[in-house]
Amino acid sequence: MIGQEKLLKQLNNYTLDTFPRSSILLGEKGSGKHTVCEYIKDNILKLPLINITEDISDEYLEELYLNPSPNIYVIDMSLMTEKKQNVMLKFIEEPMNTSFIIILCENRNLALNTVLNRCLIFELDTYKKEELSMFLPDGVENKELMLNVLNTPGKLLSIDTSRFEELYNLCGLIVNKIQIASYPNTLTILDKLNLKDEPEKFDLDLFFDTLLYCFNQAYIINRNKLYVDLYLYCLESRKKLIDKRLNKQNFMLNFLTVLWRRVRK
């Protein structure tokens, strides 16, 4: 657990008897929430871990109450609608004496206040560059650039390092050429992005991280307020990627359309 020593020290103060029944692990995609979950399972609670995200319903939770057994129940907040969050509210507020509930969350805005207020929040620390560098092999090209763009171990481990320059060049092309590109040409970017389980194409999270970096660098070089506006639009759009129920095709079509129009105002 490189880079999360402070959180591990906090967790190690708990025992099976004192660990909160309902808690949230809060951290960006790739920050290590699942790894922390496994650490809690193996070193603190020593109980079976069951992901019940897909099963949340009144009927399923009632079954758990009727047949209680000592378990850790994990819920991925990125798949929880507001309706499902309200369904699980009682389960969080009045957990079984034998169970522990851990919610994985990338952003507080994903969770209802009623959920946040009923859980103890454990927040993963931001990684330092020297910590992140340990997740890249020696001799990799563009290492410094990758560390500037990608800020969690999971992102660094998921990127094809041999294709990072291609992704960076694609985002640089968008930043520098979208003002003169035709609309149909702009939409060809969709062909390069992983929208329907196509791992050979670029992951959307990594695409947005790189595009945001390129817009930021363009502003530093040119001091043009347009790049600030486009950066902020990308930042707001990127937050929507947290919702795993998102229709990526429609989302990216709308994103590129709005981006193309904004540079022509």
Domain ranges of the chain: 5-123, 129-262
Residue 1 confidence (pLDDT) above 80: no
pLDDT tens profile 198-214: 889 999 999 999 999 99
Longest dimension (CA), the chain: 64
Residue 19 confidence (pLDDT) above 90: yes
Q: Three-state SS for 193?
A: strand
Residue 90's pLDDT is what? 87
Measure the CA–CA gap between 260 and 190, rounded to whole angstroms.
13
Q: Could you tell me the pLDDT band of residue 254, with boundaries at 50, 70 and 90?
A: very high
Q: Could you tell me the pLDDT band of residue 264, with boundaries at 50, 70 and 90?
A: confident
Residue 109's pLDDT is what? 87
Mean pLDDT of the 235-239 span: 91
Q: Could you tell me the pLDDT band of residue 233, with boundaries at 50, 70 and 90?
A: very high
Residue 209's pLDDT is what? 95
**Which residues, including other chains, have CB under 8 Å from residue 122's CB and lie 6 or more apart?**
7, 10, 11, 23, 24, 25, 26, 36
The answer to whether 105 and 25 are in contact (CB under 8 A) is yes
Residue 25's pLDDT is what? 97
pLDDT tens profile 112-141: 999 999 999 999 999 999 999 999 888 888
Look up the CATH number of domain 5-123: 3.40.50.300
Backbone angles phi, psi at 45, to 5 degrees: -90, -35
Residue 28 confidence (pLDDT) above 80: yes
Listed ranges 44-53, 78-87, 138-147, 234-243; the one with the highest mean pLDDT: 44-53
Residue 247 confidence (pLDDT) above 90: yes
DSSP 68-98: ---EEEEEEGGG--HHHHHHHHHHHHS--TT
Measure the CA–CA gap between 172 and 168, rounded to whole angstroms.
6
DSSP 94-159: S--TTEEEEEEES-GGGS-HHHHTTSEEEEPPPPPHHHHGGGS-TT-TTHHHHHHH--SHHHHHHS
